[in-house]
Amino acid sequence: MKLQPDQMDAQAVTAYDKDWIAINGEKHHESLLISSEGQKDQWGLLRAQNLTPTHLEQLIELKNKGIELVILGSGQKLQFMPKLWLQAFHTSRLGFETMDTPAACRTYNILAGEGRKVAALLLIEPQND
């Protein structure tokens, strides 16, 4: 699906499909961590169930960069995170939402376009051959 956001100061998801995401027109075929503050890091091909405590720590550290909300795009289907993750975000006073990756792309664009300090971990799952 191609998205046409209004002019944004933050980087935007400009298009996506099940095996890629375009950030400001540049296609990426691996999972990404992006933020309205300019961060864009590859995270490899991941499934939500393969996220580790190390991944959780990296996301919680975003609070130190001014991020107020982390959105997890859990792949093509909504997958909830363990209670431990929810508790860690609550304790750190960092907002956290989980949704499927297409919804996370759209939500990130809306919030970043409003000037919110938001990050999104957008999972692109390995394709079963």
Which CATH number goes with the domain that contains 55? Answer: 3.40.1230.10
What does the pLDDT read at residue 7? Answer: 59
What does the pLDDT read at residue 3? Answer: 57
Does residue 6 form part of some domain?
no
Does residue 3 form part of some domain?
no
- On the 0-12 / 13-18 / 19+ scale of CB atoms within 10 A, 127 is exposed
Does residue 127 form part of some domain?
no
Closest CA to 19 of 66, 97, 93, 75: 75
Which residue type is seen at 21?
I
Which residue type is seen at 90?
H
What does the pLDDT read at residue 129? Answer: 47
For residue 108, the enclosing domain spans 13-122
DSSP codes joined into one string, 64-126: GGT--EEEEE-SSS--PPPHHHHHHHHHHT-EEEEE-HHHHHHHHHHHHHTT--EEEEE--PP
What is the rounded distance in angstroms from the CA atom of residue 81 to the CA atom of residue 77? 13
- Global pTM reads 0.89
Does residue 116 form part of some domain?
yes
pLDDT tens-digit profile, the chain (129 residues): 655 545 567 899 999 999 999 999 999 999 999 999 999 999 987 888 888 889 999 999 999 999 999 999 999 999 988 898 899 999 999 999 999 999 999 999 999 999 999 999 999 988 764
Task: State how many domains the chain has.
Answer: 1
